[in-house]
Structure 1
Amino acid sequence: METKAVSFVAKSGTGKTTLLEKVIVNLKERGLRVGVIKHDAHRFDIDHPGKDSHRLTAAGADTMLISSPEKLAVVKKHRASPPIEELIATYFGDVDIVLTEGFKLSSMPKIELHRQERSQTLLCRGENYDATLIAIASDEALEVDVPVLDLNDPAQVAQFVVDYFKVQPSH
């Protein structure tokens, strides 16, 4: 069974992370197992100088995994970012739905966030027409060919995701 995934896309500063936090809480309240992938166009570091994991990575480890009774983290060096589909297949087989933040150029289904004060144009229905767009979460009425959700109603956005993907708790 293929893992169900949707990407939340928007221009920087639109509120992707804020909305996703609330959608995740709503989906968890429904008993769903939720995975999240955050795209970072910049360099990030979860290893910090002085920590053993940082020392091991700095020593040259290509893959370093740290595990505790509650969670694990993997630091894996690569030459190019793996395709999103590969990341989902490798790391998210145990969840009911994967939400991604970013990946606007991927072929995954997308929900675009639109905030009137942030931009007058849309990413997926502006100069470029993205056929993978399944909805827009907006704080203003829009005339578009996909459903328009209330950007300020994370429960409505979560319900749309559940209905669109027909996702149910796997346990």
Structure 2
Amino acid sequence: MKPAVVSVAAKSGTGKTTLVVKLISELKRRGYRVGAVKHDGHGFSMDKKGKDSWRFTEAGSDITMVTSRDKIAMIRQNPDRQEPPLEETIARYFGEVDIVITEGFKKNTLPKIEVHRRECRSELLYRGESHDPNLLAVASDEPLDLDVPVFDLNDTSGICDLIESRFLS
């Protein structure tokens, strides 16, 4: 099964993570299986220095997995040293969910919801010079006159209604 995918993108500090968390909670409340992918352009570490899994990875393990009754975590070294295509990542790891919400993948060609805050940026990323046909909606703290639906930043239910009608029905 191939999950639906919706990206939440915007300038840093606009509230992307807050919106993604609310969308995940609401979609779970509606009974969907939800996955999430966060883009990190700066590099990251999920392992804690000194823990067994960190030691395995430091020793050279290509794949390290930690399992428990409640969670499974995998740390996989990326031998290509290039960021894998988002579509490939979703196809490989998210076959068991109904929808994947991504955050921060600004340059993908997937349906997008842009988060807009007047104080952070006056212009939108995906309208104007850079007209992205994949813009699904905008979540904003101010009214905007656009060719796509504009939701209040706190209208999680309305945004999920749109996602549900477009991708999950």
Q: Give the TM-score of the pair, scaled to structure 1.
A: 0.94
1:12 aligns with 2:24: no
TM-score (normalised: structure 2): 0.95
SS in 2 for 1:74: strand
Give the Å deviation of 1:66: 1.2
Specify the code of the residue in structure 2 equivalent to 1:92. F
Q: CA offsets, 1:4-47, max 9 Å, x none?
A: 00000010000011111111111111111100000011111011
Match of 1:95 in 2: 97
- Cross-structure match for 2:85: 83
Query: Cα deviations across residues 53-75 of structure 1 (Å, max 9, x unaligned)?
Result: 00000001121111111111111
Q: CA deviation at 1:127?
A: 2.5
1:138 shift after superposition: 1.1
| Amino acid aligned to 1:96 | D
Q: 1:146 matched to which residue of 2?
A: 148
- Seq. identity, %: 53
| Aligned residue identity for 1:126 | G
- Separation in 2, partners of 1:44, 1:127: 32
Which structure 2 segments of 5+ residues have no match? none
User: What amino acid is the match of 2:99?
Assistant: I
Q: Which runs of 5+ in 1 are unaligned?
A: none
1:150–1:157 CA contact under 8 A, matched in 2: no
Question: What is the root-mean-square deviation of aligned Cα atoms in Å?
Answer: 1.1
Q: Report deviation, 1:136.
A: 0.9
Q: Which moved more, 1:60-69 or 1:47-56?
A: 60-69
2:31 corresponds in structure 1 to 31
* Letter aligned with residue 95 of structure 2: G
SS state of the match for residue 65, structure 2? strand
| 2:55 counterpart residue number | 55
- Number of aligned residue pairs: give it: 167
